[in-house]
């Protein structure tokens, strides 16, 4: 890339962030390039502007989402997505297997003789939810490592809350932290605590897949519904 200079870099500066189901393993093929063993998320950098072909295949077996004991594959999506020039496109796989674009962010042009992570850190601060570059990503990885070393769910919960409070994570990240816990009680507590901090509350229902029991899922659904209606109820009380 450096051979052709900054103008050539700008031509392939777009990104695609895919948000998949957190309880599955996938093979993703973008424009013929294969990405194996993909978990809940996949970020693809250095894409040119235009239409890109995307194929998402779930590989399932004993860890699959309830489709039986024998290993197999299922094509969940085979279509295209449009990537604008110098943009970050965020898309999620819906429950009915469509690829829905949830956000498109215009990216700043490359900065000459300045590391990108420093520029991001200066503008946005150190938090991961505000896209604080490598520092935020490292904080998330460090949090998962600390939780794996912790012996009890209560300790894991304290570690996770500290990260959520300081870093404003995505819903997918919260779901990954919940998967490191053993009991639904603490998973549900983390989910409720995190709702007010995540940068994408419109995606928050995906954390339900990290809960084991239907009763826990129902509790979380009621909690989200109450949080969404609370502002309207408060306005009605003020009018009275």
Domain boundary among 77, 110, 143: 110
Query: Which residues form the domain of 72?
Result: 6-110
In whole angstroms, give the CA distance from residue 144 to residue 163.
10
Residue 38 and residue 26 in contact, taking contact as beta carbons nearer than 8 Å? yes
Tokens representing 158? 């304290």
Confidence label for 4 from pLDDT (cuts 50, 70 and 90): very low
Q: Do 69 and 101 fall into the same domain?
A: yes
* Inside any domain, residue 47: yes
127 closest CA partner among 117, 115, 119, 137: 137
Q: Is residue 120 part of a domain?
A: no
Query: How long a stretch of residues is the chain?
Result: 240
Are residues 184 and 213 in contact, defined by beta-carbon separation less than 8 angstroms? yes
54 and 149 fall within a common domain: no
Q: Is residue 1 part of a domain?
A: no
State in Å, rounded, how far the first CA of the chain is from the last one: 63
CA distances from 98 to 35, 44, 186 (A): 19, 19, 32
CATH number, domain at 39?
2.60.40
pTM over 0.85: no
Are the beta carbons of 106 and 83 closer than 8 angstroms? no
Number of domains comprising the chain: 2
Q: What digits encode the pLDDT tens for the residues 62-112?
A: 544 444 445 578 899 999 999 888 889 999 999 888 999 999 888 876 544
């Amino acid at each position: 890339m450096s051979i052709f200079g900054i103008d050539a870099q700008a031509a392939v500066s777009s990104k695609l962030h895919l948000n998949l189901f957190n309880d599955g393993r996938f093979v993703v093929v973008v424009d013929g390039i294969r990405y194996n063993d993909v978990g809940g998320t996949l970020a693809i950098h250095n894409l040119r502007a235009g239409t890109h072909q995307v194929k998402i295949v779930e590989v399932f077996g004993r860890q699959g989402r309830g489709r039986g004991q024998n290993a197999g594959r299922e094509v969940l999506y085979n279509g295209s997505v449009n990537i604008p020039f110098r943009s970050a496109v965020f898309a999620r796989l819906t429950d009915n297997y469509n690829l829905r674009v949830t956000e498109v962010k215009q990216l700043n042009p490359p900065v000459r003789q300045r590391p990108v992570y420093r520029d991001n850190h200066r503008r946005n601060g150190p938090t991961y939810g505000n896209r604080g570059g490598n520092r935020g990503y490292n904080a998330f990885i460090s949090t998962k490592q600390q939780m794996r070393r912790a012996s009890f769910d209560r300790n894991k919960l304290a570690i996770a809350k500290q990260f959520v409070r300081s870093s404003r994570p995505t819903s997918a990240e919260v779901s990954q932290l919940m998967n490191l816990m053993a009991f639904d009680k603490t998973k549900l507590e983390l989910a409720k605590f995190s709702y007010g901090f995540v940068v994408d509350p419109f995606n928050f229902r995906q954390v339900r897949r990290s809960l084991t029991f239907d009763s826990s899922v129902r509790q979380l659904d009621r909690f989200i519904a109450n949080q969404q209606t609370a502002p309207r109820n408060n306005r009605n009380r003020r009018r009275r």
